Structure 1
Amino acid sequence: MNLALWIAAGFLAVLALSSGIQKTFVPKDKLAAFHQRTLAYGWTADASVGFLKTLGVLELLAAAGLILPAALGIAPVLVPVTAVCWILLMVGAVITHVRRGESVFVLVCVIYLAVAAFIAWGRFVLEPFTG
């Protein structure tokens, strides 16, 4: 179970890192144009630059919070706390995509939410980092 939890956390961390880098460092017009061409995440054209940057920074923090506390042995309880925060982020993403009628992305966000719930449940209940 510990290995499955590490794999899930690694998966979400890579996802959060790549998404956070895009939203934080790619200019909004390029990001929106790319997303319009690929039919992905049309909401970025409607969002403010500040909102995108804030969301990107939160995703970068999530990437770090899913791995580093446990890997370094410093406040490993932050791993499931970060997973709960990711769940909240995905609830917001689901609401946004439902409002925009983007059903494929709703499903993707629900999957990410389920992985985060697995990590939170696993690290709070099944395999907590206690030593």
Structure 2
Amino acid sequence: MTIALWILNGLLALAFIAAGSMKIARPKPALVASGMSWADDFADPTVKLIGAAELVGGLGLILPLLTGIAPILTPIAAAALTVVMVGAIVVHVRRKENATPSIVLGVLSAASAVLGFLVVL
């Protein structure tokens, strides 16, 4: 089970760190122009906050298990990312956009949380 957790968390961390970094680094108009039209509905600091949550959550999937310092934080990070993805699903459904990537990441984050709690506890 530990190997499955590492594989799942590694893939999720790549996705969330990349997405979060992009939201932090790029200005809101550039995000909207690149296809993230949902960002128009939010203030610039809110978009940056979402990006920061994804970045920190992605790091939280890997670092606690890797260092052995407070490994319980890994499934907690996965659960928090699940909540972020539920919010993303709601936004995309309300805007009548494709919510499939958010659904997939949300389900995988939830699976990581369950698997993480089983491995850590």
Same fold (TM over 0.5): yes
Counterpart position of 1:84: 79
Shift >6 Å, 4+ stretches: none
Cα RMSD for the two superposed structures: 1.1
Q: Answer yes or no: is 1:31 the counterpart of 2:24.
A: no
Residues 49-70 of structure 1, C-alpha deviations (whole Å, 9 max, x = no match): 0101111111110111000011
Match of 1:3 in 2: 3
TM-score, scaled relative to structure 2? 0.94
Gaps of 5+ in 1: 36-40
1:115 equivalent in alignment to 2:108: yes
Larger radius of gyration: 1
Tell me if 1:96 matches 2:94: no
What letter matches 1:98 in structure 2? V
Query: In 2, Cα distance between the equivalents of 1:117 and 1:28?
Result: 29
Quote the offset at 1:45 in angstroms.
Answer: 2.2
Identical residues among aligned pairs (%): 36
Report deviation, 1:97: 0.6
CA deviations on 1:73-109 (whole Å, 9 max, x unpaired) are 110100000011011001101100110111x3x2221
Aligned match of 1:38? none
SS at match of 1:76: coil
Identify unmatched segments of 5+ residues in structure 2: none
Q: Could you state the TM-score of these two structures normalised by the residue count of structure 1?
A: 0.87
